[in-house]
Structure 1
Amino acid sequence: MRIVVLTGAGISAESGLRTFRAEDGLWEDHHVEDVATPQAYARDPVLVHRFYNARRSAVAAAQPNAAHRALADLAQEHDLTLVTQNVDDLHERGGSPSVIHMHGEVNRALCAACDHRWPSPMEIDVNTPCPSCGRKTARPDIVWFGEMPYHMDQISAELERADLFAAIGTSGNVYPAAGFVQLARQYNAHCVELNLDRSSVSRDFHEHITGPATKIVPDWVLGL
């Protein structure tokens, strides 16, 4: 069986990483437009670097949970394509052999001048040079609002061939990921949503499983 799984912030919340969309509209006490847009970086790169340095530390302190490990087990039994909106590395540390990070990775850096990418040190700032071109234009390798997500051609191709599509811990508010279920349905995949609550696109799924990810994801994997 060919399976595509999309994961969002809800799968890492039980590892202690706060979800992207808090009820107060803030992300780690910052307005999203102040830390997660190209305009924010151009306006105040010191603040943006400080924010992502803190996120890097939080990710390093977090541990993969039972939901991450269950998806690693699923990859051993089925043809699994694992796509995540998350910028943490908990899937990899949970044992998943291959993960598509459509929104980038907090543990990687990107040169704004030459597009070179490299493993990020725990802290980078406005004086961090690119190891390729030497310019002091390092930024987090994160897809900010207004930028194109990574690997979209590959993701679309995998959705077209999927027998089963599952969205885990996603809000259904962020596109293009929120539209993956419609594409999967177009190609006759069975679509299941696993979430703490119904998402904004719940109506597009054939099946809904609600509850904490650490409980419902291992149970779902065992039932496949």
Structure 2
Amino acid sequence: MKKKLVVLTGAGMSAESGLSTFRDSGGLWENYKVQEVASVEGWYKNPELVQNFYNMRRAELQKHDPNRGHYLLKELESIFDISIITQNVDNFHERAQSTRILHLHGELTKVRSETNESLIYETFQDVHMGDLAEDGGQLRPHIVWFGEMVPEMEKAIEITQNADIFLIIGSSLQVYPAASLLDFVPVTSKIFVIDPKPVETNLRHDIIFIQKGASEGLEYFKDHYLS
């Protein structure tokens, strides 16, 4: 029976693919203030600006591809029973054909009704004000913005509680509630963190840090901890 490997991926996972993120951006994302384009307040203040911003991000996503790290996670399915919990809104894990992926913060390639969050549609096209869902609600990005609940958090906790190994890739562990998943890793489970920058956490003292980028770090993880 395969061990359960639960992987939490953050912005650093997709950095090698060249996709712009707001991590380490000093509160800016592509020269936009994060609060303007990634908050409930921003949406109510200027929904057209927000729509256009995510239209640009969706178009940009199609110009980039999964990196070696994404494909390495797929390869690890031959060794582990893997579940991926991602803070990223891109579709690189899907395109690398990983089997089980849970998006905590929504998905860039989906939109939903403003009045019914269960009415979700997949799209790679631009979405404009006046484009409506079948219930008549305005279509908005299927993104969890600052100020909104994280609907998949309970499912993420349940997955984490069953981990034999918990692997964190490219997450600064500063964004909550995702960072709190560490609280739910069984005390008997091993925890690894792959990130080129030092990651500060006081939640566990037995964490193994691999201070490398996503792809290089995963290669190191395979070579040194799976042999």
Q: Could you give the per-residue CA deviations for residues 153-203 of structure 1, whole angstroms, max 9, x where no partner exists?
A: 22111111111101100011101111112321x542211100011223276
Q: Distance in 2 between matches of 1:79 and 1:193?
A: 19
TM-score (norm 2): 0.92
Q: Distance in 2 between matches of 1:220 and 1:15?
A: 20
Q: Distance in 1 between matches of 2:48 and 2:25?
A: 26
Is the CA contact 1:110–1:139 (under 8 Å) kept in the aligned structure 2? yes
Q: Are 2:218 and 1:206 aligned?
A: no
**Among candidates 109, 112, 123, match of residue 120 of structure 1:** 123
Matches within 5 A, 1:94-113: 94-113=96-115
Q: Distance in 2 between matches of 1:83 and 1:50?
A: 27
Q: Secondary structure at the match of 2:98?
A: coil
**Among candidates 54, 57, 60, match of residue 55 of structure 1:** 57
Q: Distance in 1 between matches of 2:151 and 2:77?
A: 22
Match of 2:142 in 1: 141
Is the CA contact 1:178–1:201 (under 8 Å) kept in the aligned structure 2? no
Q: Distance in 2 between matches of 1:141 and 1:2?
A: 29
Aligned length: 221
Structure 1 residue 210: Cα displacement:
0.8
Structure 1 residue 77: Cα displacement:
2.1
Matches within 5 A, 1:15-54: 15-54=17-56
Write out the 4+ residue segments of structure 1 that deviate beyond 3 Å after TM superposition.
Answer: none
Structure 1 residue 112: Cα displacement:
0.7
**Among candidates 41, 52, 75, match of residue 73 of structure 1:** 75
Q: Are 2:132 and 1:129 aligned?
A: yes
Percent identity, aligned pairs only?
A: 34
Is the CA contact 2:82–2:100 (under 8 Å) kept in the aligned structure 1? no
Q: Could you give the per-residue CA deviations for residues 57-100 of structure 1, whole angstroms, max 9, x where no partner exists?
A: 11111100110000011123211111100000001111212210
Question: Root-mean-square deviation (CA), in Å?
Answer: 1.6
Match of 1:88 in 2: 90
Is the CA contact 1:104–1:150 (under 8 Å) kept in the aligned structure 2? no
Structure 1 residue 215: Cα displacement:
1.1
Q: Distance in 2 between matches of 1:121 and 1:181?
A: 34
Structure 1 residue 3: Cα displacement:
1.1
User: Bigger shift: 11-20 or 42-51?
Assistant: 11-20
**Among candidates 8, 11, 14, match of residue 13 of structure 2:** 11
TM-score (norm 1): 0.93
Structure 1 residue 43: Cα displacement:
0.7
Gaps of at least 5 residues in structure 2 are none
Amino acid at match of 2:145: W
